[in-house]
Structure 1
Amino acid sequence: MTAGAVSPPAAGTTTTPEPVAFAADQLAGFRIAVTSDRRAQDLITALERRGAQVLHAPALRIAPVAEDRELIADTGAILAARPDVTVVTTAYGMRRWTEGADAAGLGEELMDVLAGSRIFVRGPKARGAVRAAGLDDTGIADDERTSSVVDMLLAEGVAGRTVAVQLHGYTDGHQLDRLRDAGATVLTVEPYRWVRPDGVDRLPRLVEAVATAAVDAVTFTSAPAVDAFLSAAAHAGLTDQVRSALGGEVLAAAVGPVTAGPLVAAGARPVVPERYRMGALIRLVCEHLERRVEEIPTRLGPVQLRGRSVVLGGAVGTLSPAPLAIFRALAAARGGILSRPQLIAHLPEAANEHALDMAMTRLRQSLPDPRLVATVVKRGYRLEV
């Protein structure tokens, strides 16, 4: 496979060709959770421009590079060792590394050492950053994976060589061990590290929203953010509910296979764009959610069920989980009468007569027009199709 070619999808993930259409209302009625910190506003703005409601809770944020003693110490060790090979995994990491070195007065020496090293890059963006620094690379992974770069190095042999690896916030220790086991001396530098963000109380609320299917999709742009999300779910005792939601009602979308890895390991089947870029991720989310829009003809006019929202004419009603479960059951019946026991069976929890009465009341209050649901005396309820 040549550089720039698309690799096969990772096991447990789903890829979809990118759609090209854009409409300002294509995500209207859908609620999407965003877990990223860096460039989060770009993602949020793009989703909101398409009509989505966004719930944002950064799982992690990148530690500031200023006065990063560990970065400077690791850089000094690499300068002293003058590695035979350097692996650059991310463009952002490369830029922050050179910025940190410059701030410490080590910029010129770092460029000299890297120029004398054979540089391997994980993907096109990392290659671009290397070349922007006035350097050149020896090889590139065709699937943007660190494991593929290590495969290349092992194929040519690394015994007795010193290999410097620029880490990217999510250390794949197994790949470093592969190099060490093959006889290499491995040095690492981590230009950015992940720390808990400000306002950490938002993340538990986002986890609960996913667990209760109060969002239609959740997006991830880094593997560390996935780990933080899953850890928060475990801390809240919601692991099983989150796993169930991500396997059904809630779409999990990851920007690339590395990000998708922890989700797959947790039992989810995230969707991954063919191009591992934010724009492609946005288009993929649009395509998958647009497929979930349900058109229902009724006596009051055509109704759209869009995620948690019911749209009738220009009016929109947003439903909580229990009323939504009832409405979906009635919509699936297409005018057929559902008895009270049948509807109780569709309630997500607290399934009893009182819960049904409460859910039905909230449903009618939330619908654009309460007449959409009709009571059939002594028999049950039906949708006015």
Structure 2
Amino acid sequence: MGKGLNGKRIVIGASRKLEDMCTLIKKQGGTPIVRSLQGTVFLAEKQVGPDLQAFVEKGADWVMFTTGVGTEALVNLAEKLRMRNRFIQVISEAKAAARGYKTMAALKKLGIIPEAIDEDGTTKGLMKSLEPHDLTGKRVMVQLHGENASDLLTFLKAKGATVVPLLPYQHVAPNQETVALLCQELQNHEVDAVCFTTAIQVRSLFNFASEKGIASNIVQSFHEQVLPVAVGKVTAEALKEVGINEIVTPQLERMGAMVVELSRYYEKEGKTIR
């Protein structure tokens, strides 16, 4: 394998697995630059505990899980509250829906096979898989993922469901100085590529840029000089929503695959900018 990132300055927008990503970038000859665009993720135990207790007591007709980490967080919280077995029993007795391969893996560990799954890792894909199902009058628990998944909740309510949201973790705003620094680097063309591993990172960057009145400048930087890289379809969709359409995305939605795909892109193109 060549070193396609030789001489490239690669920004990492993630807050997790930074050491692994930095090592991969260095192995490919690049210089990793950490600019975490995703604030600390924390388990909101005090907030979600009563909701989880109520869900276990009342149950649901459907349970919908949208992230692997969120699924595991609910199981862990149920264990802390000494109701893990009851929680698993309740979700096992309901019809299940899942979004994403990590969620599928988490449910598999619990012995749960979803009746509805997305085809592309997106919330839109999950909603499409739910279209044939009659949810009228059904009680539906939805595991949210750090943000209020308004599209999914609106969809479920439109189908006549009673929605029971559970939000096991929350995202806080990233360090504003970090985002400001990255905006400066992007506008000055001081970096070659930015690796986004979640849609939240994209929104953090562009929410800040919009507040400062420089969003169009950032989009222009990505169009002209800086290569946007997305770990998967959901993250790529967030970039497209702000007007960035030429995006490097791996077929396998993994961080390691993303770095390898970026390296291959540069080796194929044989240039540092587009």
Please confirm whether the aligned pair reaches a TM-score higher than 0.5, indicating the same fold: yes
| Selected match of 2:89 from 90, 112, 122 | 112
Partner residue, 1:181: 158
Give the C-alpha shift of residue 73 in structure 1: 2.5
2:14 corresponds, among 29, 36, 57, to: 36
The amino acid of 1:102's aligned partner reads E
> Could you report, residue by residue, the CA deviation over 1:194-247 in whole angstroms, capped at 9, with x for unpaired residues?
1134x5422211121112221111011111111111122223332121110111
Specify which structure has the bigger relative contact order, considering alpha-carbon pairs within 8 angstroms and separated by 6 or more residues.
2
Shift of 1:274: 2.1
Instruction: Give the equivalent residue in structure 1 for 2:64.
Output: 87
Partner of 1:202: 178
Distance in 2 (alpha carbons) for counterparts of 1:289 and 1:238: 28
Could you report, residue by residue, the CA deviation over 1:238-285 in whole angstroms, capped at 9, with x for unpaired residues?
A: 212111011121111111221122211111122322222222211221
Aligned length: 272
Residue 354 of structure 1 aligns with which residue?
Answer: none
SS at structure 2 position matched to 1:120: strand
RMSD: 1.9
1:217 maps to amino acid: A
1:279 maps onto 2:262 in alignment: no
Moved over 4 A (4+): none
Q: 1:214 aligns with which of 176, 190, 215?
A: 190
What are the equivalent positions in structure 2 for 1:231-310 lying under 5 Å apart?
Answer: 231-269=207-245, 270-294=247-271, 306=272
Q: Which residue of 1 aligns with 2:98?
A: 121
* 3-state SS of paired residue (1:163): strand
1:32–1:52 CA contact under 8 A, matched in 2? yes
Higher helix proportion: 2
Superposed, which structure 2 residues align to 1:344-355 within 5 Å?
none
Partners of 2:260 and 2:70 in 1: how far apart? 26
TM-superposed deviation, 1:186: 0.9
**CA contact 1:210–1:218 (8 Å) conserved in 2:** no
Q: Deviations over 1:140-178 (max 9, x none)?
A: 222122222222223121001011111122433122101
1:132 aligns with 2:112: no
Residue of structure 1 in register with 2:76 after alignment = 99
The 3-state SS of whatever aligns with 1:275 is coil
Deviation at 1:292, TM superposition (A): 4.2
> 1:38, 1:61 within 8 Å by CA — same for their partners in 2?
no
Contact 2:116 2:130 in 1 (8 A): no
Query: Aligned partners of 2:242, 2:46: CA distance in 1, in Å?
Result: 35
Q: 1:54 aligns to what SS in structure 2?
A: strand
Percent identity over the alignment is: 26
Residue type of the partner of 1:127? M
Q: Deviations over 1:13-56 (max 9, x none)?
A: xxxxxxxxx23x32111001111112222222211221111211
| Greater C-alpha Rg | 1
